[in-house]
Amino acid sequence: MGFIINLLVSALIVFGLASVLPGVSINGYGSAIIVAIVIGLLNAFIRPILEFLSFPITFLTLGLFSLVITAIIILLASAVMGDSFHVDGFWYALLFGVVLGVVNSAIGGMLSGD
């Protein structure tokens, strides 16, 4: 049950961010749910590979390169989704990914009750 609630909250955050940020567009809440699933799958399967390959540069930048990996994941999700979810460029993807992570962590912390 927690997974479904987390998915719906993430989709709501994606939908809200797409309406607030000028470089991000989404077709509807159904697309937001699919985007949340796609981002979750990319984070589960592609992100570890990118982190392994970029470990030296991540180490040299004291972890700041992980923000670039986050932007790459968002751009990949935009490419997978086609016209239903579009991010205009790297900087919008970086901003979207950072805000999504921060808001998702804050709301997830409130929902967990810890």
Q: What is the pTM of this model?
A: 0.91
Instruction: Say which amino acid occupies 88.
Output: D
Give me the number of domains the chain comprises: 1
- pLDDT score at 4: 86
- Contact criterion met (CB below 8 Å) for 104 and 13: yes
Two tokens at 109?
């912390």
CA atoms of 13 and 47, how far apart (whole Å): 21
- pLDDT score at 2: 76
Averaged over 70-99, what is the pLDDT? 95
Query: Which residues make Cβ contacts (< 8 Å) with residue 71, sequence separation at least 6?
Result: 90, 93, 94, 97
- Give me the domain span that covers residue 19: 2-112
